[in-house]
Structure 1
């Protein structure tokens, strides 16, 4: 069960090598979290991540999980929940893709969509059902400001995050009153391995800053978290820029 401040004692991370997920997990372990499941494709990176977290004092286990194999999600995640209640599920997997390359290779674009949207829809529904059955818990989903409005530079990635964001808003409404809390996190440009080599956008942030915002959101039981918070105002303004003018913006 969560403590009086809303911090989970047990955590399931879907995307166990995500820098944001690991920063969040480290922060939660420093507070109250003691049991962690890292789910992801089997790799040395996943095992290293687990070892690093164990060194912080948590009981950390790994589980083989593939976002692109939704037929396995009920079985894989069901085994985790069968081990005991999970206070929080952090859905942190996703791929950025390469916009220019993926436009020329539609199957690459499909893979981005399948990972970021259909795989996430499957994992979210399976997790939400398990959380509802146990009567409590939070589902925290990493979305992106890229989903707020289609941009020429990344509309394949952005459209996948837009779909996931809308889906999770609806899922949160569907679960209202059940004891399950759904929180959508919308970071801007995050300095990480995923964005290495890309031109940094204004209001860039870090995995640690996103982790801090997630913890605060849990304490407040927020439904939407922007990182940094100023992006809420910025994106609200951009949504209302006329399309003919929006196309001229250097974004």
Structure 2
């Protein structure tokens, strides 16, 4: 698939989770001629983040320190961004499933970053933004939780349900929610893991969601996109697999 771009004439981009493989790819496709606020936890890598966005054509880049689990900071961060028209909510963790099964602290850590913090930030963005688009990232892992990664999968299931409701809330407004449902993403988060069927790369996800954002703008409504598209068929089949077989499915 070719490198998709959608030109936008104005407005600031807020990239939440600026070291995210997918978030970075989406931002580089949208940032030409625009100001970007890149929020990240590890400010030691801000130079690389700034260079990548400037090289992609960003007019300016402001890097801010951001801890997703500091929920009280979410609204202040969003309100500090002038002319915010694009928000990319790309922070998240995979976590350690084996540890989470025995350590409630790890289970809660995964849930806090991948669900609670997402709900908080998406709520703030939907309240504060008047127009534009918000990108949120669900996953096939949330379609039907597997024994092999049910903690992470459960957060994506909850996030997906939240996004569908939020999209309905935004219906008829000038603000659209782009909800991505990718398959297994081959990237830094999954390094060393065996790719699953219909795996995708961060650039493929970015191409698909930017294209979807274009459709959302043209149609005046939020959209949800499976990546790759045939994954939607696999998802329907997944619902039909008997539970005794499903519990032995790999990640």
Deviation string, structure 1 residues 106-154 (Cα, Å, up to 9, x no partner): 10110000000000111111111111xxx31111101111000010110
Q: Secondary structure at the match of 2:67?
A: coil
Assess if the C-alpha contact under 8 Å between 2:6 and 2:29 holds in 1: no
Aligned pair in 2 of structure 1 residues 6, 35: CA closer, same or farther (>3 Å)?
closer
C-alpha deviation, 1:174, in angstroms: 1.0
Equivalent runs, 1:195-210 vs 2, <5 Å: 195-210=190-205
Q: 1:119 aligns with which of 117, 120, 139?
A: 117
Aligned pair in 2 of structure 1 residues 223, 6: CA closer, same or farther (>3 Å)?
farther
C-alpha deviation, 1:164, in angstroms: 0.8
TM-score normalised by length of structure 2 = 0.90
Matched residue, 1:51: 51
Q: Secondary structure at the match of 2:101?
A: helix
Assess if the C-alpha contact under 8 Å between 1:147 and 1:165 holds in 2: yes
CA distance in 2 between partners of 1:128 and 1:236 (Å) = 30
Deviation string, structure 1 residues 187-226 (Cα, Å, up to 9, x no partner): 1111111100111111111110011001110111151111
Equivalent runs, 1:1-251 vs 2, <5 Å: 9-29=11-31, 32=32, 34-58=34-58, 59-80=60-81, 84-131=82-129, 135-221=130-216, 223-251=223-251
Assess if the C-alpha contact under 8 Å between 1:9 and 1:33 holds in 2: no
Aligned pair in 2 of structure 1 residues 126, 33: CA closer, same or farther (>3 Å)?
farther
Q: Which runs of 5+ in 1 are unaligned?
A: none
Assess if the C-alpha contact under 8 Å between 1:10 and 1:33 holds in 2: no
CA distance in 2 between partners of 1:239 and 1:7 (Å) = 43
Deviation string, structure 1 residues 165-197 (Cα, Å, up to 9, x no partner): 111110111111121111110111111111001
Assess if the C-alpha contact under 8 Å between 1:47 and 1:62 holds in 2: no
Number of paired residues?
241
Assess if the C-alpha contact under 8 Å between 1:226 and 1:232 holds in 2: yes
Assess if the C-alpha contact under 8 Å between 1:11 and 1:89 holds in 2: yes
TM-score normalised by length of structure 1 = 0.90
CA distance in 1 between partners of 2:21 and 2:125 (Å) = 21
Deviation string, structure 1 residues 10-50 (Cα, Å, up to 9, x no partner): 31111111010111111223xx5522111121422233212
Q: Which runs of 5+ in 2 are unaligned?
A: 217-221
Q: Secondary structure at the match of 1:87?
A: strand
